[in-house]
Amino acid sequence: MANRVKDKVTLVTGAGSVGPGWGNGKAAAVLYAREGARVFAVDLNLDAAEETQTIISGEGGKCIAFRADVSSADQVTSMVKECLRVYGRIDILHNNVGVPNIGGLAEVTEQEWDQLFAINVKSVYLTCRSCIPSMVRQGGGVIVNISSIASIRYVGFPCVSYATCKAAINQFTQNIAIQYADKGIRANCVLPGLIHTPHIEHFLASAYGGDVDRMIKKRHALVPMQRMGDAWDVAHASLFLVSNEAKYITGVQLLVDGGISCKIS
């Protein structure tokens, strides 16, 4: 199937990747473009956003790269204004920005707690607050917020601040889904499970003694399907939710986890 989001303007935050390979936001941006969208690819690292832009342009798609810190209200406002200036509208908002933090209640510092909420939760609030008015004016739009199974399950090691952040995103999404349903706006969450991306190798290896190979092997073994997912699994779930195939779906939490959330241990 092709052209599932043809000519839709899609703003993707966290559209780059922290290392070689495919991160969730990068894969989503490229997939949206392959399905006909005009992409506005945002990342804190402009080089990473431009790499995504290069891939999309090389395949004949349309993409603008933009640098923004989406935990900053001023930068989010500038980001949305530029997207509207270039493309004239925003049909899809895909919020992918998020960082993990390892540690339980005693280990997480106040500074780490505040920083995680600024990046993981405040960014979603700011981007939605800035994009929704234009969606209302144009008669509709779709929002996908990337959450995590950590929002509903313990993931095998303490990550109290990260889990709490992601749970907040779930409830935030449900609230705006209901508030704006009669304005033609849908909002849903994707809850990835154990996904093998450059992001986990960059942030999570310390939870496994710094041994990336050991981390990968152990995470594969935890999943009933005996393998982690990849960024394309998350991207395809997101594409479904923003497409017309999901036109009667709003306020949901779509698990993309290989069945791991069904396990007792």
Catalytic residues: 162
**3-class DSSP state for residue 41?**
strand
CA angle 229, 227, 116 (to 5 degrees): 50
Q: How far apart are CA 117 and CA 86, in angstroms?
A: 30
| Residues 6+ away with beta carbon under 8 Å from 128 | 93, 95, 143, 172, 176, 187
List of residues 6+ apart from 120 with CB closer than 8 A? 97, 98, 99, 162, 165, 166, 169
8 A C-beta contact, residue 229 and residue 256: yes
Element (H, E) at 132: helix 123-138
> The tokens 């700011």 sit on which residue?
126
Q: 245, 4 in Cβ contact below 8 A?
A: yes
Q: Which residue has the tokens 């190979």?
A: 213
How does DSSP classify residue 9? Answer: E
Residue 120 gets which letter from DSSP? I
Q: Is the separation of the CB atoms in 83 and 90 below 8 Å?
A: yes
